[in-house]
Homo-oligomer: A and B are copies of this chain.
């Protein structure tokens, strides 16, 4: 049996990866810089045209009074929650059990701020208005993630979102948006970034997901909130003397891709339909609501790996470099569609799915 690293290797060798915009290589940065004047002045500890212009662009895009560039969303979001807790003199917030802060940050929120999270909903579904209404302790802030990445990028309806926002406003609960992938959901909602952000007191957006930049994030909100977040940014050591490598690349790829989000969304629906036509395969959500979804297989990781390796080698389509087992006989992976999808010749794509379908059928017949 091939070892785990073979799946990664087969993916690397496949000329047509299904997901993403590009490999994460140095050229992602150099391409963004190559048309710029080398005499451009660096930002300096949060000041200067490069950072101020970009922050202004994002304040306008989100419809907020102000915005501040952060090296990471982890830093930006902890700080947002800390500020809302301080203002309410209550160190408790609510979020989803699979929130980034809960599972990917080594408990930074708890260790650095002693903020207690209340986990709403369960890890297989979205937070609903009912969940918020049933909170039996008070919280300073509710964090919603749009789309909810760890469950395939699901979304509440716009009406549910408005109802949650209205309820929070009535109750004096601040609403923070983990919008790491916010731009990617605007086509589904058919609403502008600013319209969606108007429901929230504070908003974070990432620049290396759908935007495809090098790294970095924005936090947007009222001027006093953003001013306070800048003091925390300095406390964290995030107020670097120069953030321009991230800002310039974020600006470049934002311009390039902000108009393509609808296209990525349509292609995700197309690809998901192809997966769902294969046996023992289903996507979550069944019909994607953004450029992303999860591909679940009712097949063990051990059985699926050699199949995927063979299909990738034969078709040239890079389905995935990894699988996560979800049980003895099931596994999944995450897929986010971007620029690379468009470059795949239709016959190759068709052949990739045909071979996958066939291999899974043969497996089912054994």
Give A residues with C-beta under 8 Å from B: 23-30, 33, 36-42, 44, 70-76, 78, 105-108, 111-113, 208, 214-215, 231-232, 234-246, 248
Shortest beta-carbon distance, A138 to chain B, in Å? 24
Q: How far is the CA of A242 from the CA of B44 in the complex (A)?
A: 20
Contact of A241 among B27, B29, B208 (CB under 8 A): B208
* With known contacts A70-B237, A234-B74, A40–B25 Cβ distance under 8 A: yes
Does A39 lie within 8 Å of B25, measured CB to CB? yes
Count of identical protomers in the assembly: 2
Shortest beta-carbon distance, A238 to chain B, in Å? 7
Does A37 lie within 8 Å of B33, measured CB to CB? no
Q: How far is the CA of A111 from the CA of B78 in the complex (A)?
A: 14
Contact of A33 among B29, B111, B215 (CB under 8 A): B29
* With known contacts A112-B112, A234-B105, A234-B108, A245–B75 Cβ distance under 8 A: no
* With known contacts A39-B27, A42-B28, A215–B237 Cβ distance under 8 A: no
Does A42 lie within 8 Å of B26, measured CB to CB? yes
Measured between beta carbons, the chain B residues less than 8 angstroms from A40 are 25-26
Shortest beta-carbon distance, A45 to chain B, in Å? 10
Does B27 lie within 8 Å of A237, measured CB to CB? no
Measured between beta carbons, the chain B residues less than 8 angstroms from A30 are 30, 33, 38
Does A235 lie within 8 Å of B105, measured CB to CB? yes
The CB with the most chain B CB atoms within 10 A, among A39, A215, A232, A246, is that of A215
Shortest beta-carbon distance, A218 to chain B, in Å? 14
Closest to A214 in B: B242
* With known contacts A215-B242, A242-B214, A242-B215, A72–B237 Cβ distance under 8 A: yes
Contact of A72 among B37, B214, B240, B245 (CB under 8 A): B240
Closest to A39 in B: B25
Does A42 lie within 8 Å of B24, measured CB to CB? yes
Known A24-B241, A245-B245; further 6 A-B contacts with Cβ < 8 A: A74-B239, A105-B237, A108-B234, A108-B235, A214-B245, A215-B243
Q: How far is the CA of A108 from the CA of B233 in the complex (A)?
A: 9
Q: How far is the CA of A24 from the CA of B50 in the complex (A)?
A: 13
Does B238 lie within 8 Å of A72, measured CB to CB? yes
Measured between beta carbons, the chain B residues less than 8 angstroms from A42 are 24-26, 28, 214
Closest to A27 in B: B38
Measured between beta carbons, the chain B residues less than 8 angstroms from A28 are 42
Q: How far is the CA of A86 from the CA of B232 in the complex (A)?
A: 23
Measured between beta carbons, the chain B residues less than 8 angstroms from A240 are 71-72, 215
Shortest beta-carbon distance, A191 to chain B, in Å? 28
Q: How far is the CA of A36 from the CA of B37 in the complex (A)?
A: 20
24 cross-chain CB contacts under 8 A: A25-B39, A26-B37, A26-B244, A26-B248, A27-B38, A28-B42, A29-B33, A29-B244, A30-B38, A33-B33, A71-B71, A71-B238, A73-B237, A108-B235, A112-B113, A112-B235, A208-B242, A214-B245, A215-B240, A215-B241, A215-B242, A215-B243, A236-B236, A238-B238
